[in-house]
């Protein structure tokens, strides 16, 4: 007899397992227990070991179909049936077969799927649908097997016919699970065969088709099958259930003889949560509200997680609760949104945790390196990558590749400088470029650059050019040669397989060799081990559970050769779809989606994203069941799952949700939460939703009279708040790095410091190297279209004709200008920027035309331009700064470039290229700093303006301007104080707010006001995350993230003018 046991308590299911396995022979595998994940397996083992006070090896499996298969072949006739047929049990094999059915156009009206990727993705979707139908709605498959259709509507009918045809084609040469069921039914006898297995225990409700097969197997073998199920509470009649699920989906009754036991019991704990659970079952009264049940509202999802971790800290610190008795959960569709925040905050407090769900491993260095490596096999334009600079350097920048070849960061940066200097763009060599239909006349392949590099080494030449602003020589030749040899080896290895076709398992062997040669795979790294298992799986591709049996059809599948593109898609999809788990499953907080934890008994369960419980389904005509079943069924499933996990929490169950952007307060409250709140109120208890402050360190948490939930989560934060409330700032100081040396700042250094202070201050001032490879990856990718834009080239030429205003005033004759152009073009050819066969005459002709056009326009529009005289301003001064009780000396030196004088007005000249948006920001910052420096040097200065010569329309623009009263000469000293302040505070510095302010600034004089607005906007705050902390170790600096939350307590005496502009921004901590 097939037996089903239903209860509302997880502990009763565990007790039932103990009862059924009590008399098992420990030396035989008499009982097979089937569960859906490893965590449940471990929980059952631990629970029964505690009850028996002894641990023994339970025979726990996770694959019910594999169990069915191994049992079935114990019958001689079924085994013979499987020997002569094929039963597919791996979905990857099914996808592979369906892909080729589509490729061979065996399905009507599917010719639009022409690309490898589209065909495989479509196959993947169809196979997943088939398994979904098979799992929950087997009547649909049965209809098709009987040559019937479910839908009459033409739109749905079309998709149904297409899916039906695909399934028929997929199984036309092999049996499917329904054929197996029919064969097993025919083998049932009155006398059952005795085998080692005596019982099968299935935790959770199984598929209808599996149930039917197991039911039949009971009539062949002397076994008993038990399903131990948490009752679907939505089928119970109670007030709250009626409110939550007004329309219920009635499941089809089975025609099998099933013995069913329903064991619904009350919960005995004396807290509100237990009374709420009993109320759900039997409408019993509620106890007084306490901390066992809460509903918490936050502003953002990140804040939800932060409050959750606060509550966990409070529980573990005050209630002696073990962290492995806590679960953090959410709906499976919300996993990717919450996991980054969960990891961030649990890591912050060094709390151990384990993630059960499929983690997004696509961002791991190993998987990224593997994907980058495989991408080098393929390009969008040909059968092999074009080896462009960006993708090669990104591949070499991956830590797994760097570790494999012992590449240092400095060597990698040197390669970048080298590739920039010799203008490497794409292509390994001329032959490779030609195969990709690129122009060989450009000296911009890796081999071209390397050859020019060797020439410079052998003949001791330098890359330099008269009138050019660059002189580049190569000092670390060994590292260049070493890295180029890696690139060349990679190219030659990949070229060997260009255009080849191999079987899936052969490609798996090949990619395994590439991984071993180019990527550092570690034995103790879980993700690396997981990659190896996926590669091994593809090495064994198409071998089924009965792979020792002869099957002609499977041999044809296994022996089919494919292009690399298909193998790449299959491997990537395999990596993305599968899950992995961490070690020490019983030592940390469990993080898992709500559908994975129904059968776990825990003390505390925290449910994130409660607002997502409301029904939210996206209709897709391809998914017939979305059209056939009303969407309320999804809501019913969510509610059933929710109540099961509420029942599984013994001491605490907390809901968390974040508000939407809606202005209507009512629309911010989730429908399901509203119904629960109203029900509790109707039962006589006045429940309040906790609404927490937007920040963890808001003073609301530290006020004298506060709600119970506003607890002091962090004693250090509380002490700081207390000091600040009493205006006792002197007792609160952060540890700083002492600066006692003279700091020399070239003019260019000041601009660098402002434009990228994060990198500049750490590396140049503090000599603290930033170990952040992501900066290296931000390499401008040159266009692959090799078309020379003469206008663009002429603009670059003008940038090299210095001084431009002398040229326009005829100080240099036209012939001399043409000679300069010849030298520049020759240099550009050598650097591979322009092709060897460029028509110099055309370039020069167009340049002179544009040059004269600009000259004439200036004559017409701006006569005073010709009064300008170049101003030679050389800084060489020491400025002492009194800072933190120390005298710190700054030395300013350097020559101001491109400064021209008209009376008492100074102009900073800059040529502007269209759509060069980033330069607009840098220009405004440079102009402001230039004004400060000029004001410190020149008396009676009226203003500083920027002259922009727009190349596109040959006109002059005078947009950005600082007038005398805005430029405060003391601001230069204040600016240097800020440099000292930042340098003594080794904290990540950002320029985002300055950039946003400058983008919004139309009038440059409004810059300080706009910046202050940006700073005060909470939405613009930038968070310091765990990933940044490796820049400086904890032992090197005392971190105090709440410091500037309250008030800036440093003792700098600076003017309001610059304080508003810079200090609030740079001194800002999060």
Mean of the per-residue pLDDT values for the chain?
76
Verify that 123 and 224 share a domain, yes or no. Answer: no
Measured CA to CA in angstroms, residue 844 lies from 465, 794, 809, 817, 834 at distances of 18, 9, 19, 9, 14
615 versus 572: the higher-pLDDT residue is 572
Other beta carbons less than 10 A from residue 76's beta carbon: 10
Residue 788, pLDDT above cutoff 60? yes
863 versus 419: the higher-pLDDT residue is 419
In contact, 870 and 899? CB cutoff 8 Å: yes
71 versus 972: the higher-pLDDT residue is 71
First to last CA, the chain: 64
**Is residue 100, in this structure, part of any structural domain at all?**
yes
**Is residue 10, in this structure, part of any structural domain at all?**
yes
- Exposure string over 694-710, b if 16+ CB within 10 A, otherwise e: ebbbeeebbeeeeeebb
Average pLDDT over residues 689-713: 66
In contact, 309 and 349? CB cutoff 8 Å: yes
Which range of 497-511, 726-740, 901-915 scores highest in mean pLDDT? It is: 497-511
Range of the domain at 494: 363-577
In contact, 234 and 241? CB cutoff 8 Å: yes
Residue 386: pLDDT band by 50, 70, 90 thresholds? confident
Long-range contacts of 820-827 (CB under 8 A, 24+ apart): 820/466, 820/467, 821/797, 821/847, 823/465, 823/466, 823/467, 824/465, 824/467, 824/468, 824/797, 824/800, 826/465, 827/463, 827/464, 827/465, 827/468
What tens digit of pLDDT does each residue of 196-231 get?
999 999 999 898 889 999 999 999 999 999 999 999
| Region of poorest pLDDT, from 485-499, 569-583, 694-708, 820-834 | 694-708
| Region of poorest pLDDT, from 109-118, 288-297, 1026-1035, 1053-1062 | 1026-1035
278 versus 436: the higher-pLDDT residue is 278
pLDDT on residue 139: 79
Verify that 614 and 559 share a domain, yes or no. Answer: no
**Is residue 605, in this structure, part of any structural domain at all?**
yes
**Is residue 565, in this structure, part of any structural domain at all?**
yes
418 versus 554: the higher-pLDDT residue is 418
461 versus 189: the higher-pLDDT residue is 189
| Region of poorest pLDDT, from 280-294, 316-330, 788-802 | 788-802
**Tokens of residue 670, six digits:** 């989730």
CATH of the domain at 41: 3.40.50.10930
CATH of the domain at 377: 1.10.486.10
In sequence order, which residues have a C-beta less than 8 Å from that of residue 1068 and are 6 or more positions away? 1015, 1021, 1022, 1044
| Region of poorest pLDDT, from 28-37, 247-256, 457-466, 927-936 | 457-466
In contact, 978 and 1048? CB cutoff 8 Å: no
Residue 665: Cβ-neighbour burial (10 angstroms; 0-12, 13-18, 19+): exposed
1012 versus 449: the higher-pLDDT residue is 449
Domain count, the chain: 4
**Tokens of residue 597, six digits:** 């934890």
**Is residue 652, in this structure, part of any structural domain at all?**
yes
Residue 916: pLDDT band by 50, 70, 90 thresholds? very low
What tens digit of pLDDT does each residue of 156-185 get?
788 888 888 888 888 887 788 888 999 999
Residue 1067, pLDDT above cutoff 50? no
Verify that 67 and 123 share a domain, yes or no. Answer: no
Residue 382: pLDDT band by 50, 70, 90 thresholds? low
In sequence order, what E strands does 55-123 have?
60-61
Residue 745, pLDDT above cutoff 70? no
489 versus 130: the higher-pLDDT residue is 489
Average pLDDT over residues 310-319: 83
Give the 3-state secondary structure of residue 511: helix
pLDDT on residue 1065: 35
Residue 396, pLDDT above cutoff 60? yes
Verify that 299 and 380 share a domain, yes or no. Answer: no
In contact, 628 and 151? CB cutoff 8 Å: yes
Residue 252, pLDDT above cutoff 60? yes
Distance CA 118, CA 550 (A): 33
Average pLDDT over residues 825-830: 82
Measured CA to CA in angstroms, residue 1068 lies from 695, 798, 990, 1043, 1056 at distances of 15, 41, 10, 9, 17
- Domain C-terminal end among 577, 610, 626: 577
In contact, 746 and 895? CB cutoff 8 Å: no
Verify that 500 and 416 share a domain, yes or no. Answer: yes
Is the entire prediction scored with pTM above 0.75? no
**Tokens of residue 876, six digits:** 């060489």
CATH of the domain at 319: 3.40.50.300
553 versus 341: the higher-pLDDT residue is 341
What tens digit of pLDDT does each residue of 469-484 get?
444 455 567 888 899 9
In contact, 334 and 592? CB cutoff 8 Å: no
Verify that 389 and 511 share a domain, yes or no. Answer: yes
Verify that 552 and 461 share a domain, yes or no. Answer: yes
Average pLDDT over residues 584-591: 77
Verify that 152 and 201 share a domain, yes or no. Answer: no
Residue 757, pLDDT above cutoff 50? no
What tens digit of pLDDT does each residue of 436-455 get?
888 888 888 999 888 888 87
Which range of 16-30, 195-209, 784-798, 948-962 scores highest in mean pLDDT? It is: 195-209
**Tokens of residue 495, six digits:** 């070229």
Hey, what's the torsion of the CAs at 587, 589, 590, 593, to 10 degrees? -170
- Domain C-terminal end among 577, 610, 628: 577
Residue 646: pLDDT band by 50, 70, 90 thresholds? very high
In sequence order, what E strands does 564-709 have?
589-593, 602-607, 649-658, 690-691
pLDDT on residue 682: 94
Which phi and psi (to 5°) does residue 701 adopt? -70, -15
Measured in residues, the chain has a length of: 1070
Distance CA 845, CA 670 (A): 70
**Is residue 632, in this structure, part of any structural domain at all?**
yes
- Domain C-terminal end among 577, 602, 619: 577
What tens digit of pLDDT does each residue of 46-98 get?
888 887 666 667 899 988 988 998 999 999 999 998 888 877 777 788 889 89
Verify that 392 and 484 share a domain, yes or no. Answer: yes
Residue 261, pLDDT above cutoff 50? yes
Q: Pairing state of beta strands 955-957 and 60-61? A: unpaired
Q: Which residues pair with 298 in a beta bridge?
A: 658
pLDDT on residue 544: 61
Verify that 560 and 659 share a domain, yes or no. Answer: no
Measured CA to CA in angstroms, residue 859 lies from 482, 809, 814, 867, 913 at distances of 56, 10, 18, 12, 21
Which phi and psi (to 5°) does residue 704 adopt? -65, -50
In contact, 436 and 442? CB cutoff 8 Å: no
759 versus 49: the higher-pLDDT residue is 49
**Is residue 59, in this structure, part of any structural domain at all?**
yes
Distance CA 754, CA 751 (A): 5
The percent of residues in the chain predicted with pLDDT above 90, rounded, is: 26
pLDDT on residue 1056: 47
Torsion sign, CA atoms 558, 560, 566, 567: positive
Measured CA to CA in angstroms, residue 98 lies from 162, 557, 563, 729 at distances of 13, 11, 16, 71
| Region of poorest pLDDT, from 59-73, 514-528, 627-641 | 627-641
The DSSP code for 863 is G
Residue 770, pLDDT above cutoff 60? no
Composition of the chain by helix, strand, coil, percent to 5: 50, 10, 35
Verify that 445 and 534 share a domain, yes or no. Answer: yes
Verify that 71 and 94 share a domain, yes or no. Answer: no
Distance CA 683, CA 1014 (A): 48
**Is residue 683, in this structure, part of any structural domain at all?**
yes
């Amino acid at each position: 007899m097939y037996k089903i046991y239903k209860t509302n308590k997880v502990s009763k299911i565990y007790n039932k397992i103990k009862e059924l396995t009590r008399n098992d022979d420990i030396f035989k595998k008499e009982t097979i227990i089937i569960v859906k994940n490893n965590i449940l397996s471990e929980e059952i083992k631990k629970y029964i070991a505690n009850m028996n006070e002894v641990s023994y090896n339970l025979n726990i499996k996770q694959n019910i179909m594999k169990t069915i298969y191994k049992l079935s072949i114990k019958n001689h006739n079924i085994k013979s049936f499987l020997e002569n047929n094929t039963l597919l049990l791996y979905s990857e094999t099914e996808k592979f077969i369906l892909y080729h059915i589509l490729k061979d156009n065996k399905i009507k009206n599917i010719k639009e799927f022409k690309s490898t990727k589209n065909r495989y993705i479509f196959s993947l979707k169809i196979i997943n649908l088939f398994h979904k139908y098979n799992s929950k709605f087997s009547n649909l498959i049965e209809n098709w097997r009987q040559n019937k259709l479910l839908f009459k509507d033409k739109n749905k009918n079309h998709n149904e016919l297409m899916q039906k045809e695909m399934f028929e084609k997929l199984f036309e040469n092999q049996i499917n699970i329904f054929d197996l069921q029919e064969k097993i039914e025919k083998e049932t006898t009155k006398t059952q065969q005795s085998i080692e297995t005596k019982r099968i225990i299935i935790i959770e409700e199984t598929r209808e088709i599996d149930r039917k097969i197991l039911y039949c197997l009971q009539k062949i073998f002397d076994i008993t099958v038990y399903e131990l199920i948490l009752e679907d509470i939505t089928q119970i009649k109670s007030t709250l259930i009626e409110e939550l699920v007004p329309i219920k989906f009635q499941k089809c009754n089975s025609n099998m003889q099933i013995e069913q036991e329903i064991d619904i019991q009350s919960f005995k704990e004396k807290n509100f949560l237990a009374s709420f659970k009993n109320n759900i079952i039997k409408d019993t009264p509620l106890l007084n509200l306490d901390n066992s049940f809460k509903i918490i509202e936050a502003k953002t999802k990140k804040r939800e997680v932060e409050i959750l971790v606060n509550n966990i800290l409070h529980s573990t610190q005050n209630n002696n609760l073990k962290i492995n008795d806590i679960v953090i959960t959410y709906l499976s569709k919300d996993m990717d949104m919450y996991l980054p925040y969960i990891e961030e905050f649990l890591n912050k407090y060094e709390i151990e945790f384990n993630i059960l769900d499929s983690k997004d491993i696509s961002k791991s260095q190993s998987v990224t390196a593997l994907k980058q490596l495989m991408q080098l096999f393929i390009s969008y334009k040909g059968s092999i990558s074009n080896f462009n600079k960006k993708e090669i350097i990104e591949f070499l920048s991956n830590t797994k590749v760097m570790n494999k070849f012992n590449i240092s960061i400095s060597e990698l940066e040197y390669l970048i400088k080298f590739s920039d200097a010799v203008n490497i763009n794409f292509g390994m060599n001329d032959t490779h470029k030609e195969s990709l239909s690129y122009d060989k006349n450009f000296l911009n392949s890796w081999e071209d650059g390397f050859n020019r590099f060797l020439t410079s080494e052998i003949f001791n030449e330098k890359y330099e050019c008269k009138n050019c602003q660059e002189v580049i020589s190569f000092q670390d030749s060994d590292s260049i040669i070493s890295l180029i040899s890696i690139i060349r080896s990679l190219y030659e290895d990949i070229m060997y397989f260009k255009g080849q076709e191999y079987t899936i398992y052969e490609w798996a062997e090949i990619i395994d060799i590439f991984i071993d040669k180019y990527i550092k795979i570690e034995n103790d790294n879980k993700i690396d081990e997981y990659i190896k298992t996926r590669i091994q799986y593809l090495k064994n591709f198409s071998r089924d559970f009965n792979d020792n049996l002869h099957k002609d059809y499977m041999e044809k599948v296994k022996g089919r050769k494919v292009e690399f593109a298909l193998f790449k898609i299959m491997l990537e999809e395999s990596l993305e779809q599968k899950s992995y788990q961490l070690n020490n499953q019983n030592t940390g907080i469990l993080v898992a989606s709500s559908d994975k934890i129904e059968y776990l008994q825990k003390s505390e369960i925290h449910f994130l994203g409660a607002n997502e419980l409301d029904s939210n389904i996206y209709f897709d005509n391809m998914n017939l069941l979305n059209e056939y079943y009303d969407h309320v069924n999804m809501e019913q499933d969510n509610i059933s799952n929710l109540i099961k996990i509420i029942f599984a929490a013994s001491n605490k169950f907390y809901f968390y949700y974040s508000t939407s952007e809606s202005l209507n307060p009512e629309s911010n409250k989730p429908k399901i939460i509203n119904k629960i709140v109203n029900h509790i109120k109707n039962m006589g208890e006045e429940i309040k939703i906790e609404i927490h402050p937007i920040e963890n360190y808001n003073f609301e948490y530290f006020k004298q009279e506060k709600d119970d939930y506003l607890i002091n989560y962090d004693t250090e934060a509380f002490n700081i708040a207390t000091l600040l409330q009493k205006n006792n700032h002197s007792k609160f100081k952060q540890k700083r790095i002492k600066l006692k040396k003279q700091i020399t700042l070239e003019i260019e250094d000041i601009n660098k410091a402002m434009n990228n202070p994060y990198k500049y201050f750490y590396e140049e001032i503090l000599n603290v190297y930033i170990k952040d490879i992501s900066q290296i990856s931000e390499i401008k990718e040159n266009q692959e279209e090799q078309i020379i834009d003469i206008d663009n080239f002429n603009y670059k030429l003008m940038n090299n004709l210095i001084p431009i205003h002398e040229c326009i005033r005829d100080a240099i004759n036209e012939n001399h200008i043409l000679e300069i152009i010849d030298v520049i073009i020759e240099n550009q050819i050598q650097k591979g920027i322009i092709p060897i066969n460029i028509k110099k005459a055309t370039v020069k002709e167009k340049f002179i035309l544009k040059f004269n056009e600009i000259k004439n326009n200036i004559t017409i529009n701006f006569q005073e331009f010709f009064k300008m005289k170049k101003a030679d301003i050389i800084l060489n001064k020491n400025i002492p700064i009194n800072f933190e009780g120390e005298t710190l000396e700054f030395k300013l030196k350097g020559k101001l470039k491109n400064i021209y004088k008209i009376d008492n007005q100074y102009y900073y000249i800059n040529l502007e290229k269209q759509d060069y948006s980033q330069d607009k920001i840098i220009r405004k910052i440079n102009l402001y700093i230039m004004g400060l420096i000029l004001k410190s040097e020149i008396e009676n200065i009226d203003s500083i303006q920027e002259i922009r010569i727009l190349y596109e329309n040959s006109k002059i623009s005078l947009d950005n301007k600082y007038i005398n009263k805005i430029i405060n000469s003391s601001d230069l000293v204040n600016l240097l104080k800020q440099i000292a302040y930042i340098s003594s505070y080794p904290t990540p510095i950002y320029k985002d707010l300055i950039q946003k302010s400058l983008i919004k600034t139309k009038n440059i004089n409004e810059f300080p006001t706009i910046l202050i607005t940006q700073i005060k906007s909470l939405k613009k705050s930038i968070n310091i995350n765990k990933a940044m902390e490796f820049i400086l170790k904890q032992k090197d600096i005392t971190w105090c993230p709440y410091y500037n939350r309250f008030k800036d307590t440093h003792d700098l005496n600076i003017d309001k003018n610059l304080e508003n502009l810079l200090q609030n921004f740079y001194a800002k901590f999060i």
